[in-house]
Amino acid sequence: MIFTLMTVAFSSISMTLAIVTGHSNVSLPLYVINTYFTFMMIFWCLPLYSGTMIPQLTWLQYFSIPYYGFTALHHNEFWGLNFCPSLNTTQGNHPSYEMCSGEEFLLMQDIDLSRWGLWKNHVTLAILSLIFLIITYLRILCLKRNF
């Protein structure tokens, strides 16, 4: 869980660096960052919203840093949980309206149950961080040449 939170924080910080670098007026880029995170948190961060989203806009969730963080946290926290210890969930003899395992919840949220389902979120956050840090570096190089 801490690793997931650290990768989300690092990718958010690297995105902030990429946007703010080179601006003399810091308030405008910060408004852009706040708008991005507010928009992503409200509409496209949680897998809970993936079924109720407009189908033409579902691709936007893949540009959301919180989406990858929440998906990884869901996978980490719900994998292996048993909500109905008195019922035998391996036999499938529980009523259909009850959700007795964490895996059932993850399947309802369209989250991949494999090990790669957890780690692809971390890999994506690391790649986003690397891309934002490269953008920051290139912007710093342009600043250095202008002086």
Tell me, yes or no, whether 116 lies in a domain: yes
Nearest to 104 by CA among 118, 116, 115, 90: 90
Higher-pLDDT residue of 96 and 25 is: 25
The gap between the terminal CA atoms of the chain, to the nearest Å, is: 43
67 with 42: CB under 8 angstroms?
A: no
Q: Give the number of domains in the chain.
A: 1
- Kindly report the average pLDDT of the chain as a whole number: 78
Tell me, yes or no, whether 135 lies in a domain: yes
Calpha distance 93→91 (Å, rounded): 5
Cα atoms found within 13 Å of the Cα of residue 31, Cβ hemisphere only: 5
Model pTM score: 0.75
Tell me, yes or no, whether 89 lies in a domain: no
Cα atoms found within 13 Å of the Cα of residue 45, Cβ hemisphere only: 13
What is the extent of the structural domain holding 113?
2-83+96-146
Tell me, yes or no, whether 91 lies in a domain: no
Tell me, yes or no, whether 90 lies in a domain: no
* 3-state DSSP assignment of residue 47: helix
Higher-pLDDT residue of 38 and 126 is: 126
Tell me, yes or no, whether 35 lies in a domain: yes
What is residue 95's DSSP assignment? Answer: -
Per-residue pLDDT tens digits for 86-139: 665 555 555 555 667 778 777 777 778 887 888 999 999 999 999 999 999 999
Calpha distance 100→88 (Å, rounded): 9
Lookup: tokens for 101: 């395992």
Tell me, yes or no, whether 88 lies in a domain: no
CA 23 to chain centre: 27
Tell me, yes or no, whether 64 lies in a domain: yes
Calpha distance 41→52 (Å, rounded): 15
